[in-house]
């Protein structure tokens, strides 16, 4: 069965606006990244929102959790800003019990050419195929259970 990928934005998908010099969101780069990785796992991609996770509201998290619940797939990857990834994982964990859900993200935008996103995406798609139901955070090559991880914002690692 296919893996569902829910896109929510985050550094993963940020782009540089050359007229204003600011970062912004347009479309997700997930299909391009999967193609670059020559990924042959069947996946279905749905963009739920395109936002910075610092601006994510409780209502946004509820939308994500509800979509995880409604999805037919038993294995789900969520791309998400790293700043509040753990908060969203906690909300999902309270709502969804019977699925393997992996949240992942990036420290550098994919479009800036030196992203950790491709590495994390490879990890997340591997872990999500193997682990038992639960909610996991996949960063830095590691897989954490949602209630056993925190972000060290000064170092930028989990």
Instruction: CB nearer to a copy of itself: give 95 or 112.
Output: 112
Smallest separation (angstroms) from a copy of itself to the CB of 141: 4
Instruction: CB nearer to a copy of itself: give 122 or 134.
Output: 122
- Helices then strands, counting H and E runs in the chain, come out as 4, 8
Contact 131, 100 (CB under 8 A): yes
Residues near a copy of itself, by CB under 8 A:
11, 14, 16, 18-19, 21, 23, 33-34, 36-41, 52, 107-109, 111-116, 118-127, 129-131, 138-143, 153-154, 156-158
What b/e sequence results for 67-95 when a residue is b if at least 16 CB atoms lie within 10 Å of its CB, and e otherwise? bbeebebebbbbbbbbbbbbebbebbbee
Smallest separation (angstroms) from a copy of itself to the CB of 150: 14
DSSP tag of 146: T
Instruction: CB nearer to a copy of itself: give 70 or 154.
Output: 154
Contact 26, 7 (CB under 8 A): no
Instruction: CB nearer to a copy of itself: give 65 or 73.
Output: 73
């Amino acid at each position: 069965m296919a893996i569902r990928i829910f896109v929510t934005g985050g550094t993963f998908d940020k782009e540089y606006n050359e007229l204003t010099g600011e970062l912004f969101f347009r479309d997700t780069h997930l299909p391009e990244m999967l193609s670059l990785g020559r990924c042959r796992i069947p996946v279905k991609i749905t963009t739920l929102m395109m936002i910075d996770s610092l601006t994510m509201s409780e209502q946004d998290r509820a939308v994500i959790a509800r979509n995880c619940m409604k999805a037919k797939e038993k294995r789900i990857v969520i791309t998400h800003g790293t700043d509040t990834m753990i908060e969203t994982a906690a909300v999902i964990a309270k709502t969804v019990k019977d699925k393997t859900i992996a949240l992942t993200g990036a420290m550098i935008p994919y479009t800036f050419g030196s992203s950790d996103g491709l590495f994390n995406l490879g990890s997340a798609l591997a872990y999500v195929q193997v682990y038992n139901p639960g909610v996991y955070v996949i960063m830095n090559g590691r897989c954490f259970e949602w209630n056993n991880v925190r972000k060290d914002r000064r170092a930028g690692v989990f």
